[in-house]
Structure 1
């Protein structure tokens, strides 16, 4: 009679539910894995077991090849303290594809309360996973301070476990259960989009950031442009007014020491100074607007075709003053007559014989005074005319400079606004392209999630039935083991 293949028997349980499932993808090995948390005495326990069971291969976690499942697992924990959640997870990882597991509380020679620790470990592991309810436990001292290693109970338990002909089938069923759990979890995660949720959230956050950043940047740049233009208008207008006032003061100061022969040169110099002021204002406007464009990272404002026009005013009215000249001559004659009479009387009082000389001297003095008074009054009059002309010239210059400033600033505002609009359009197009890429990726994730959900709905029922069948087979084996153990041992617990 042919002995049935235990691996094929386990695979048949799954194939009966879903024939498309052929293998759990795990290679079995005859080695026994000895593992446990740090300071549990794993290496000492493995050495003691190799000495007592030389026919069995014992390996530690770093000696087991990746993708292979041990024939059995010896899980060692120290008697110093109960197991922790991380210890439970370590056992889950070690026994994921192996049903034959033995729990060992080590260092029983150093801890007399190891039985209480063992009972606590059993309860904690049973609460962690129902499969560990059936886990057999023993105490051991692999490297005692005195005497030989106390591993007899563990050796007997391992011999019985490894000689069980149904161990391979149960291990295969446990591997099937673990693999089916992983596949079911993966299908559920894919169908729910859990693995894509982080990426989707990141993409949505990036899209919102791009839109919010574009609105904020556009508002900030528009406000900055308006503020810079307003500041430029105020500062440049102040510069133009201040420069015109400065020139007016300088010219008026020059008038106070001006002689009649320099009037023509003064007029030419004043017009030249006015042209220089317009050139300075024009240069200052160009420099300031260029700095504004650089601060806003925009194209430079184009310079005007030519310099600003200098106001053309008629010359000072220094020639048309006939009535004033006649009046001054009359007043000068009066002053001269008075001086002549005073001088002639002076001579007559001093020496009566000098009457004729006194009359001549008085006439000469009166004539000189009359000429001096008429000349001085004419000079002062002409200076007053020049002063008023300078005031008119600088007023016209100020008006022309302010007009030039306002015209240049308005033109610069239009140019900078156009440049800003062009930059905003380019940046908006770039942002729209990035948002389109994000939307396309989001649609891909949504479509992939829909496909994964459809695949989950199609595959999950069969996988769940297959897992339930595997668990039912393992539970049937456990119930049979309990019945046999009850008949053999009359209710005694393994490991005590």
Structure 2
């Protein structure tokens, strides 16, 4: 290894390069006598390469098309030939990049200057275009040449002198080596950046997936909570309607019983009413249990824990208290009615059979007493029926309030229990 190459390698390896840069392989050593001639089609690169072989016998001049023969080596100089017909194009600039990837010494040559008088304008335009393409080409020297003119000798002196001077300079080899290192390190940096970019994209994709999963989870949780709340509201409406219907039906049945009550069954009516109230409460509670069990099964949850036995509402007895003043008034009215009946019967008997006046008086007295007793009894029974009917209205109101409160409390407790199960299931599914 020559001294310039060793100095360049020492400069690079002595720097603090870690990570991906430290893993970059060193570039191949440049060949100090190898000259590569490249250029687009019809630019005269082949003729220029042949002419340079004659003028530079100490160098190996190759053309880009036969570069495969020297694969693995780096030229000391790249001569880029372009025609004086027209300025460079973007594809020509990319061709320079490929040919001089590991070489710092690049010489631009405008060929066929013997037939194109405006070659100097083309050369100036090429210099500007190539410098605009990449800053590294701002210091590229440009010369005109004619490798195989139609008349006269080849015009190569300026190009040959430039190549001989630059190839003899030891700094050229060092700069080429540094250019090779720059390319390798830039490739390592680009690979690291691509890896980091790919990692960031994967992380961003994971974040997006996680956010989408969280949104889906929150949406599912919200939908389940809405479904649970909606079903509970529907169950509450149905159960409240059932409770009202049961209460109304019981009130109608007991009112019919109270309308036909007799003195013998009057005292047992309150106990019968309390039994019916207990039966209605038990039926509503059983309906609540069935409704909540079906709701939990529809949502895939366990049935809520059973509630305690329902407590019947306090029902005071019917106010069938003593009615002394009213009874006295009724007896007075009954006595008057009975006296009138007795006088009527007595006069009727006396008029029909004057000899049976005494018997008519006795019969009228008995009929009057019987009428008085019947009137007093009927009036008391009708009063008791009216009292019981009003009492049944109070019982129905108390029962309706109790069963509606029972339904609301049971549904609220079920909502708490089922919501807890739902939250626990969601946590276990995460």
Normalised by the length of structure 1, the TM-score is: 0.51
Offset at residue 13 of structure 1 (A): 1.9
Counterpart contact for 1:325–1:378, Cα < 8 Å = no
Q: Which residue of 1 aligns with 2:41?
A: 43
* Helix, strand or coil at the partner of 1:383: helix
Query: Can you list the C-alpha shifts for 1:23-43, whole angstroms capped at 9, x where unaligned?
Result: 7325769684534xxxxxx22
Once the two structures are overlaid, the 10-residue window that deviates more, 88-97 or 162-171, is 162-171
Distance in 1, matches of 2:370 and 2:66, equals: 139
Distance in 1, matches of 2:180 and 2:323, equals: 123
Q: Which residue of 1 aligns with 2:102?
A: 97
Query: Can you list the C-alpha shifts for 1:348-382, whole angstroms capped at 9, x where unaligned?
Result: 79x96499699588877766655544433333333
Counterpart contact for 1:333–1:367, Cα < 8 Å = no
Query: Can you list the C-alpha shifts for 1:76-130, whole angstroms capped at 9, x where unaligned?
Result: 377545666x865652442133466443457989987553232132255468557
Q: Which residue of 1 aligns with 2:38?
A: 34
Q: Which runs of 5+ in 1 are unaligned?
A: 1-7, 36-41, 143-147, 428-496
Counterpart contact for 2:146–2:156, Cα < 8 Å = no
* Helix, strand or coil at the partner of 1:377: helix
* Helix, strand or coil at the partner of 2:381: helix
Distance in 2, matches of 1:246 and 1:393, equals: 12
* Helix, strand or coil at the partner of 2:384: helix
* Aligned residue pair count: 391
Cα distance, 1:324–1:400 mapped onto 2, change above 3 Å: farther
Offset at residue 395 of structure 1 (A): 3.8
Distance in 2, matches of 1:282 and 1:120, equals: 94
Q: Which residue of 1 aligns with 2:20?
A: none
Query: Can you list the C-alpha shifts for 1:270-302, whole angstroms capped at 9, x where unaligned?
Result: 3222112223334555666788xx6xxxx9466
Cα distance, 1:95–1:363 mapped onto 2, change above 3 Å: same
Counterpart contact for 1:140–1:150, Cα < 8 Å = no
Q: Which residue of 2 aligns with 1:181?
A: 182
Larger-Rg structure? 2
Once the two structures are overlaid, the 10-residue window that deviates more, 329-338 or 154-163, is 154-163
Offset at residue 176 of structure 1 (A): 0.8
Alignment match of 2:277 (pick from 270, 277, 284): 270
* Helix, strand or coil at the partner of 1:251: helix
Normalised by the length of structure 2, the TM-score is: 0.57
Distance in 1, matches of 2:342 and 2:86, equals: 142
Distance in 2, matches of 1:308 and 1:151, equals: 122
Superposed CA RMSD: 6.6
Q: Which residue of 1 aligns with 2:143?
A: 137
Offset at residue 183 of structure 1 (A): 5.8
Query: Can you list the C-alpha shifts for 1:6-49, whole angstroms capped at 9, x where unaligned?
Result: xx5xx2223257669897325769684534xxxxxx22336863
Distance in 2, matches of 1:217 and 1:254, equals: 55
Q: Which residue of 1 aligns with 2:309?
A: 309
Cα distance, 1:269–1:89 mapped onto 2, change above 3 Å: same
